[in-house]
Structure 1
Amino acid sequence: MKTFPFISTLCRQNKYFLIGLCLGFFFSFILSPIFENGCLVNENGEGYTNDHLSRSRSLSSDSNLLGDEYEPRINFAGKPNKARKTPALLNRPRYYSTELGIREKLFVGVLSSQYDVSTRGAALNKTIAHLVDKVMFFIDAPGHQKLNISMPGGIVGFTDTRRTLKVFHMLKYITDNFLDEFDFYFLVKDATYIKARELYEMVQGISVSEDVHAGSGRRDEHTSFCSLDAGLLLSSSVMHKVMLSLDWCVKNAFSDSYDDNLGRCILHATDMSCQESVQGYALTSYSLDRSFNMEEDIERLTKDYKFHSALTLYPVQEPNVLFQLHAYFCKVGLVHNKQDITSLRNSLVNMSEMTPGRRSGVTWPIGIPSGTVPINRFDVLRWDYFTDTEVYLNSDFSNVKKLDGADKKDIQYVVNASIKQVEAGWGEHLQYHHLINGYRRFDPSRGMDYRLDLAFRDTRTGQEVHKRVEVCKPLGRVEVVPMPYVTENVRVNLILQVEAESKLEAMKFMENYARICMEKRDKTFLMLVLLYDPSLPGKGTKDDIFLSVKELALTLSDRYKKDGSKIAWVSIKIPSPNELANDPLLEFVVADLVIRKFSPESLILMCQSNMDLRQDYLNRVSFL
C-alpha cells in the first residue's frame, strides 16, 4: 500500500516525459513501414529485396539496372599512377680517381712554333716526357699543313697567329681540358733544358693548399714578372683564378713580351707577384751564353754551383746541345746515387757494431734481406744446377732441360759480369776458360742468387785456376697488386704475326698455346698472320715456306676439334722485307687487315712469337 502512493507521486512529477516517450514509440511504429516501402519501390513499381548480398549490392551486378544511383564502380584507367618525377640515376665515373678527386701531379706546357717543334721540341720531349705526367706543345698553325711529327703528349695548333695572344690561347686550352686533372702546371718555352726529375721531386713536396706562382729569370729587380724562358710554376688554384680573368687579360695585352702579358694576367687574377721560392723550395735557373759550346764550356761550368743547382737552363738553340746537357746531368745524377748508396752501406756497417750480432749480423749484399729461413724441410728453397747448355732438375717433372730463351740470356749475363769482376780484382793475367758448375735459387723475399765455379787460365804459369763467385740479383721495389680473376666467360682472340725468319718460334708458341689453352678448353682463338715474301715460294706450292706451320695448325685443330678449339691463318703478301724490316707501321697495317675478320665487340690480343703465354695473363686480359 505504501508503494502505490510513491509510484503515483513519481508519475505526476514526470508526466510530460512519459507522455513524450509514449508518443515517440507510437509514431515510430506507424511511420516506419511507410518510409521503408518508399525506399524499396522505384517509379516503375518494381521492388527490391532488403538483402545486403543482392544483385544491387554485388560488384558483378548488371550495369544496366536502374534505380541505385550510388552503386560503386571501380575505374582502372591510368592505374597505377606513374611517379610525377623520375628519380635521377647516379652516373658514377669510370675511374675511382675521378670520383675521389685524385689528380696527377705535374703538367708541362711548352710554347713552340711549327718550325721548331720537330727539332728542339722533339729533343725536349725525349728528355722529359718519361719523367712527368703529361707534356703538350702549343704552336702556331696558320694553314692546314700537317706536321711530319707525332708526340705522345700531343701538339696543339692555334690559327690565331697574333703574338700577344698566343700565351692566352695556351691558358684557355689548358683550363678547358686539364683544369681539374693536375696539381701543378709548368709553362716554359722550347729553348729551355729542364731537369724534369728534380722538378717533379720538388712539386711532390709542395702543398696544394696554397696558391703557387713561382719562377725566376727576372729582367731586373723592379719587375715582378718572371721569365717564361726560365719556366713558370702555377698551382691548380691559381689556374682557376686565371680562368675567370682571361677576358680581362686579353683586353689588356698590349706588350709583345710573353713574360709581361702572362705576369700581368696572373697578378691581376691572384694579386700575387712571382716568387723565386715557395715553401722552402727554390726555382732557380741559369742563363747560358748565346755562343755556348758544350765541349769548350763544360769544364768551366762544372765548377759553378749555380749551374748544377739550377732547375732550368736557357737558351738552348740546338737539339744536340740539349741532348748533351741531358747526358751530362744524368751522369752527375748516377755519380750522386752511387755515393749515396756507398754512404748508406758504410752507415749500416758502422751501426752494426751496436747490434747484438755485431758485424756478423750484416747481410750480403748490404741492405738486402738475408732470405727466408725455412721452418721445416718442406720450406727449403731448391738450388737448380746448370751448365753452359743445360739446366738440371729445374722442376718436379723434368730431369734436364736445354737452356734457351730468357733463361739462357740471364745466365750468360751473370757469367759475363762475374768474369769482368774476377779480371778486375785479380788482374788481367787470368783468362776465362769455361764454366765448371753453376747453381741458382730464387727467394721471393730477396731475389735471385747464383753460385758459379769458374775456370781461368793463368797466362803467366799456364795453370788452371778455379774461382767461386756468388752473385745476387736483388729484387727492386716490390708491390703486391691484388687482381681479381675474371668471372665473365669472354673469348680472347689471339693474333700472331709470323714471318719466314720466325716460323720456328711461332711453332713453339703454338705448342705452348695448345698446352696452356686448348688442353684446358679455354675460350680462346688463335689466328696466324703469315707474311709472305715475294721472293720466296708462296702458298699453294709444294715448297710453301709456311707449310710446316700450317700442318702443325691443322694437327692441333684436329686434335682438339671436339672441344671447339681451332687455329686458323690468313696469308698476306708484303713488299720487300728489307724495306719493312724495322717499320712499326707494318704492325698497324696487319692489325687493320686482320681485325676486319672479327666482330666489333671481340676482344683481341696482339701477340709476338717469343712471348711466354700464361693462364694468369689471359685471365687479366679477359678481366680488362
Structure 2
Amino acid sequence: MVYGARTGVPLALGLLFGVIISLAILPREEYLSVGLCPFAESPSLEEEESSEHWQVIIRKKPPTSANVQPGKVARARFAATELGTREKLLVIILGQSSLTVALNASIGRHVPRLQLFVDASRVDADIASLPNLTPYRPNGQHAHVSILSSIFNMTLHENYDWFYVMPDTTYVNPFELMNFVNHVNWNRRVAIGGTSNSVTDRKCTLQAGILLSNPAMQSLIQQRHICNSIASNSDHAAFEMCIHHATNLSCVSEYQGMKYNWWKVDGMGFGGADGGMTIHDKVSWWAKSSKFNRSLSVSPLLSEADARALHEHFVNVEVGKVDHEIEQLIAEIESLSADIPDGPTWPIGVPAYSKPPNRHQVPKWEFFTSNEIFKNDGNQNVYALSGDDKVDVDEVLAAARKFAEGASGVAAGLEFVQLQDGYRMFDAMRGMDYMVDLLYRNQFGEPVVHRVHLTRSIASTQLMHQVPYVKEDTDLTIVIPVGSNDEVGAIRRLLARHARLCQASAGDSRQTRIVVAVRAVDSAALRLINNDLVELRLRCRSSQTETMLLLLKAESHPVIAAAALDEAVDHFGQQMIYLLLSPHADIQREFLDRVRINTIKHFQVFFPMPFVEFHPQVVGLSEAVNNRMNAHNTHLQQDDVDDMQRLVGDRLSLIETLRNNAFLRSGKQLVVHKDQGHFDRSDFSVLALYGIDYLRARSRLDVTRSRASVSVADACFRRKATSREQWPSDIICKHAQYDATSALQRQYPHSFK
C-alpha cells in the first residue's frame, strides 16, 4: 500500500496543478463560446430561388459520321496486304508485234505473273484475246509515261518483290530468272541488267531486260513525274533514261553472287554469234556453249520461230538439270538405304507398301490374263479384258518385254510366246504395281517363264492452293429414278422418312426439291406416288420443300439414272446441285449439308462412299431359323426343323429356297459392323454434281456400253445418325445388288476425270 501511494500521489498532484494554471491563464469566454455561439443566419428564400443571373451552357458532342462505327478498327481488305505478303516476280512486256503472243504462250506459264502493255493502235485480234493485256494510248508522249501510270493505277508496284521489264524482241529464260530472284534479297534499291559497250554509260539497256527490286520500283513510281520531260529518239531509250534518273541507280550485272548473263545476238563481241544468221538456225550450234545455256536473256528476236526455238532449248536444258539432280538423289538414297530400318525400297525414293490398319483392309491383287481380268467384285469374278483395263495391260506388257528383252535382259535372244498371267494392285502411296509372267521359248524349244515387277508411280501431283468458296445455302434437287413396280414401295417409304426429317427441321430457308422420275410403272402406282408427293409438299411447307413427278419417255436413255438426270437438268436448269439417289435410300438431314459443301461448280463432283449391307437372306438366315425353332407351336416347330434338315441335305434346293423366299428383316437399326456389311469403294451409284458439270460430261457417256441397266431394286442406303461419325458413314447402303455389267458405275468415274 505504501508503495502504491508513493507512486500515485505525485501524478495526481501534477495533474491538479496543471488544471489550476490553465483556468487562471485562459479567458473564460474562449472556452465557452463553443457551446454558446449562435447559429449562422440562413440565406433568404428569395436569393436561393432567383434565376435571373443564371447562365445556360449547352455542351454539344463532336459530330460523327454515320458510316463510321465508333471504336471499329480499319482493317485491310486482304490479309496479304496487312501482313505485307507479296508474290515473287512480275514480268512486264512492252509489246509491239505478234512476238508478244509467242512470248506470252512460252514463258507465261513459268512465272508467277506476266503483264502485257501494248499500244492500243497496235492491238490486233490475237493480242486482244489475251487476258493479261493492258492497252494504253501514248497521247503524243513516250510509252513509259502511260505504262508507269497504269502500273500505279493497278497497284502492281505494291504486290511483288521483283519486277522484270523487257520488250517483246527479247526472250527471257524463265528458269534462270526464277533461280536468280530466289537466291537474292529484294530489300535493297537495285537495278540489274546488261549495259552497252560504252564505259561511261551507267544505264541498263532495255534490250537486255531490266530487273528492279521492290524499293527501286517504288522510287520509280513516286518520281515518275521526272520522266515526263525526257526527250529521246525511241521509246526504249526514253524508258532507260527514266529508270536511271527517277531511281538514281546505276546498272549492275552481278548482285549477291548471282550474275546476270545476257546473250546478245547482233555483233561478234558479247554473245559470240554471227548477227547475219537467224536465232532458230543457230540454237543447235549455240547449245554447245555452257555460257549460252546459262544465259538469262537473249535478244534481239526477229520472228516467232526464234522464240519457240529458244524456249524449246531452255526447257530441254532445265529437264536435263532436273534429271541430273534426280540421279544424284538416287545415288544418295542408295548410299543411305543400308542405315534405314526398313531397308531400301523399290523403286528408289518411292514409299514402301502402306500397312493396312486391320485385316479387313488388306489390299487385294487383281489377276489378269491376255483376255480376262479377275476383279475384286462381290457379285462377279471374271470380266472380259477391254476398255481402259486392256490399254493398261498392253502398256505394261510392252514395258515388261522391253525390259526383259533388252541387251542385258534376262530374255535376250529368246522367242516371246505370250503373256502367261499377271497381277496388279493399287496403293495410294506408291501407285499401281504389277507382276507379269512372260512365257518365252529358248533355242531348244523349251518353255521359259520370266517374272517382271513393274510399278506405275503416281506423278504430276500438286497441292491445290485455291479452292472455291462454298456455302450451304445452295438449292438442292434430289433426283430419284424409279424403273419398275418393285421400287414403288421403296420410294413411298423414302418419301415418308423425308417427311419426318423436314418436320424435325422446320424453319430451314434453303430450298430442297424432290423429283421422282418414273418409267415403266403402272398408272395405279403412279397415282400412289403422286399422292405421297402432294402430302410431302403440304407437310414440309415450312422447310421450303418442293416436289414433282416426272414421266420419262420410252425413247430416253437406256440407263434410267442418266435419263432422270437429263430430264431434271432440262426442266430445272443448270445452276443448281442435283443429287442422284436410289429409291431405297435412307439418309439424314446432315447428309444433305455435306452434299452442299462437297459439291463445287467446275471443280468437284461428290461421290459418297456407302456402307453396303450384306443381303438379308444371308445375314438374317440364322435369326430367321432361330425364331422358327423357338416357336410355341411344337408341331410347326417340328415341321420347320424337318424342312431345314431337308434344305441342308439338298444344296440345290437350299439355293432355290433362298432365292425365292424373302426372310423378313427385324426392325432394329442398322449397325455399321463387319458382320453386317462393308464400305464399298467401287460403288458410284450415288453422286452429286451441278447441272452444268453434268452437261459437260454427258457427251462422254458411251451409249453402246450404257445399255446394261443398273439394277437398284434391292439397294438401300442408310446413314448412321450420330454426331461422332466420320465421313465414310455418310451413306449406308443396305441390300445392294447391282448388275455385274453396270455401265453407270463404270462410266461416271471416267466422265469426271
The answer to whether the superposition gives a TM-score over 0.5 is yes
Q: Is residue 2:89 matched to residue 1:106?
A: yes
Alignment CA distance shift 1:484-1:283 (3 Å): closer
Counterpart of 2:697 in structure 1 is 609
What is the deviation of 1:204?
Answer: 1.0
Q: Is residue 2:478 matched to residue 1:466?
A: no
Measure, in 2, the Cα distance between the counterparts of 1:372 and 1:96: 39
| CA deviation vs aligned residue, 1:233-284 (integer Å, no higher than 9, x gap) | 0011001111122111121x21124453233222223322111111111111
Alignment partner of 1:314 out of 299, 302, 314 = 299
Counterpart of 2:180 in structure 1 is 202
Measure, in 2, the Cα distance between the counterparts of 1:17 and 1:351: 110
Alignment partner of 1:383 out of 364, 376, 385 = 364
1:348-363 → structure 2 map (5 Å cutoff)? 348-350=333-335, 361-363=343-345
TM-score in terms of structure 2 length: 0.53
Alignment partner of 1:286 out of 256, 263, 276 = 263
Counterpart of 1:343 in structure 2 is 328
Q: Secondary structure at the match of 2:142?
A: helix
Alignment partner of 1:263 out of 240, 245, 257 = 240
1:79-478 → structure 2 map (5 Å cutoff)? 86-87=69-70, 89-113=72-96, 116=97, 119-142=98-121, 149-152=128-131, 154-160=132-138, 162=140, 165-177=142-154, 178-251=156-229, 253-289=230-266, 291-293=276-278, 296-350=281-335, 361-372=343-354, 378=359, 381-387=362-368, 390-393=373-376, 400=381, 413-424=395-406, 425=409, 426-427=411-412, 430-431=415-416, 433-434=418-419, 436-442=421-427, 444=429, 447-458=430-441, 465-475=448-458
Aligned-residue RMSD, C-alpha? 5.3
Alignment CA distance shift 1:192-1:454 (3 Å): farther
Alignment CA distance shift 1:207-1:400 (3 Å): farther
Measure, in 1, the Cα distance between the counterparts of 2:360 and 2:244: 67
Measure, in 1, the Cα distance between the counterparts of 2:352 and 2:552: 61
Alignment CA distance shift 1:137-1:300 (3 Å): same
Alignment CA distance shift 1:87-1:484 (3 Å): same
Measure, in 2, the Cα distance between the counterparts of 1:120 and 1:484: 34
Alignment CA distance shift 1:306-1:481 (3 Å): closer
| CA deviation vs aligned residue, 1:53-100 (integer Å, no higher than 9, x gap) | xxxxxxxxxxxxxxx979xxxxxxx9x999968525335445432221
Counterpart of 2:745 in structure 1 is none
What is the deviation of 1:221?
Answer: 3.1
Do the aligned residues in 1 keep the contact of 2:176 with 2:294 (CA within 8 Å)? no
Measure, in 2, the Cα distance between the counterparts of 1:306 and 1:259: 27
Alignment CA distance shift 1:126-1:456 (3 Å): farther
Measure, in 1, the Cα distance between the counterparts of 2:226 and 2:173: 34
What is the deviation of 1:223?
Answer: 1.6
Measure, in 1, the Cα distance between the counterparts of 2:344 and 2:311: 37
What is the deviation of 1:107?
Answer: 0.5
Measure, in 2, the Cα distance between the counterparts of 1:229 and 1:381: 62
Alignment CA distance shift 1:141-1:390 (3 Å): same
Do the aligned residues in 2 keep the contact of 1:493 with 1:604 (CA within 8 Å)? no
TM-score in terms of structure 1 length: 0.62
Q: Secondary structure at the match of 2:85?
A: coil
- The percentage of aligned residue pairs carrying the same residue is 20
Alignment CA distance shift 1:232-1:469 (3 Å): same
What is the deviation of 1:473?
Answer: 3.9
What is the deviation of 1:320?
Answer: 2.4
Measure, in 2, the Cα distance between the counterparts of 1:18 and 1:136: 102
Q: Secondary structure at the match of 2:319?
A: helix
Q: Is residue 2:541 matched to residue 1:552?
A: no
Q: Using the TM superposition, name which of 549-558 and 195-204 deviates more.
A: 549-558
Q: Using the TM superposition, name which of 122-131 and 303-312 deviates more.
A: 303-312
Do the aligned residues in 1 keep the contact of 2:137 with 2:146 (CA within 8 Å)? no
Do the aligned residues in 2 keep the contact of 1:492 with 1:604 (CA within 8 Å)? no
Do the aligned residues in 2 keep the contact of 1:225 with 1:273 (CA within 8 Å)? yes
Alignment CA distance shift 1:304-1:414 (3 Å): same
Alignment CA distance shift 1:487-1:449 (3 Å): closer
What is the deviation of 1:471?
Answer: 2.3
Measure, in 1, the Cα distance between the counterparts of 2:259 and 2:188: 16
| CA deviation vs aligned residue, 1:20-50 (integer Å, no higher than 9, x gap) | 899878xx9xx99xx9xx98xx9xxxxxxxx
Measure, in 2, the Cα distance between the counterparts of 1:415 and 1:523: 53
Q: Secondary structure at the match of 2:434?
A: strand
Alignment CA distance shift 1:371-1:264 (3 Å): same
Give the length in aligned residue pairs.
485
Measure, in 1, the Cα distance between the counterparts of 2:358 and 2:260: 59
Q: Which consecutive residues of structure 1, in runs of 5 or more, have no partner in the other structure?
A: 1-6, 43-67, 71-77, 497-513, 528-538, 566-586, 588-602, 619-624
Counterpart of 1:598 in structure 2 is none
Q: Which consecutive residues of structure 2, in runs of 5 or more, have no partner in the other structure?
A: 1-19, 51-57, 267-274, 480-493, 503-509, 516-550, 569-579, 590-601, 603-689, 702-726, 731-753
Do the aligned residues in 2 keep the contact of 1:185 with 1:234 (CA within 8 Å)? yes
Measure, in 2, the Cα distance between the counterparts of 1:343 and 1:24: 112
Q: Secondary structure at the match of 2:233?
A: coil
What is the deviation of 1:174?
Answer: 2.0
What is the deviation of 1:128?
Answer: 0.9
Alignment CA distance shift 1:214-1:405 (3 Å): farther
Do the aligned residues in 1 keep the contact of 2:101 with 2:126 (CA within 8 Å)? no
